[in-house]
A = this chain, B = another copy of it.
Amino acid sequence: MLCFVNDYSQGAHEQILKRLSDINREPQTAYGRDQYCESAKEKIRAACQSPQADIFFLVGGTQTNATVINSLLRPYEGVLSADTGHIAAHEAGAIEHTGHKVLTLPHRQGKIDAEQLKAYLKAFYQDETYDHMVIPGMVYLSHPTEYGTLYTKRELEEIGAVCREYSLRLYLDGARLGYGLVSPGTDVTLPVIAQCCDAFYIGGTKVGALFGEAVVFPKKAPAHFFTHVKQHGALLAKGWLLGLQFDTLFTDRLYWRIGEHAMEAAQELVRVFEEKQYPFFLKSPTNQQFVILENSRMKSLAQKVSFSVWAPQDENHTVVRFVTSWATRPEDIEALRQLL
């Protein structure tokens, strides 16, 4: 079975496994207070050009979103998100579980923009009854988005400016950030993100780690963030497992190299689909590609290849998603080419 269903279907980049194995019997301080976490934090601070940043390592994305958002909002505040945002649609109400409403804005290919944000906020504060409503306290973006689309530096900066104007915090979900950082489709870099955002996370789970997300507060973490993490059940006892993985990812550009590998595979995938004349729903600048399949073709293909069913296109066609990762090999794409 060929696997293009997502970028978290296999274990971890071999260098990560190797280092975990190497230090297996070395006693460590628990709860992320070990040397590997410290080393990883230093490397991430350098990569973000944020020498003062507070950094924490959590296990997964939904957990990270809920913990960070809950720590940055006051009880009466909500978080603005594209209606397709992960927190709005696919986290089983984890944000509402912490007492906060997700306020949605209509997306454009997964993105929102400064203009619509400003229009929303202006209308909100013009409404005489606004204090009977959930006060917007934060903007949530993901980069890449659910559609594999990307923000530009200018778009991020404009959104950041609106946030400052209306006293909103800006938070960026980087579950697949590694693919965004190497994409030719954007000029957004880690220092740009650190400049614009109050908090963001650098995704490990979908970019070659076994698991793990690095939360960065470029200025300063909320008071007692460690205790927030514990309260959310998000504190890993053997925290060095996270630190060591990020230390490895941020050594010798491994995080970027993993992204580049997957991006090359994704471009090859595009070429194969073009060659076979499959129509695209969306050619993304990242490692996710969306093509339209005739339904019976989809069913027969699904016998030999795993991919995601995205949405019905019309009665006889379906949008499906193919994803590449650190683990995609040239022979996988060639095998797919044979099947198409």
Contacts and interface: CB of A to CB of B under 8 A. Distances in A.
B27 A9 contact: yes
Given A30-B8, A74-B224, A78-B93, A211 B231 contact: no
B30 A10 contact: no
A310 to B, nearest CB: 11
B94 A97 contact: no
Contact of A93 (B62, B134, B235): B134
Interface stretch (A18-26, A49-57, A184-192, A295-303): A18-26
Contacts of A237: 8, 60-61, 205-206, 211
A235 B89 contact: no
Interface string A59-75: 11111111100110011
Nearest to A26: B10
B90 A129 contact: yes
A1 B29 CA distance: 12
A154 to B, nearest CB: 31
A234 to B, nearest CB: 6
Main secondary structure of the interface of A (DSSP, over half): loop
Nearest to A228: B76
Interface residues of A, number: 79
A308 to B, nearest CB: 9
B227 A132 contact: yes
A87 to B, nearest CB: 11
A96 B87 CA distance: 14
A109 interface: no
A304 interface: no
A143 interface: no
A107 interface: no
Interface in A1-55: 1, 3, 5-6, 8-12, 14, 17, 20-21, 23-30
Nearest to A224: B76
Given A9-B27, A238-B205, A62 B233 contact: yes
Contact of A227 (B24, B61, B131, B224): B131
Interface in A105-151: 128-129, 131-135
A100 B101 CA distance: 9
Interface of A: 1, 3, 5-6, 8-12, 14, 17, 20-21, 23-30, 59-67, 70-71, 74-76, 78, 89-94, 96-102, 128-129, 131-135, 205-206, 210-211, 222-224, 226-228, 230-238, 241, 306, 309, 327
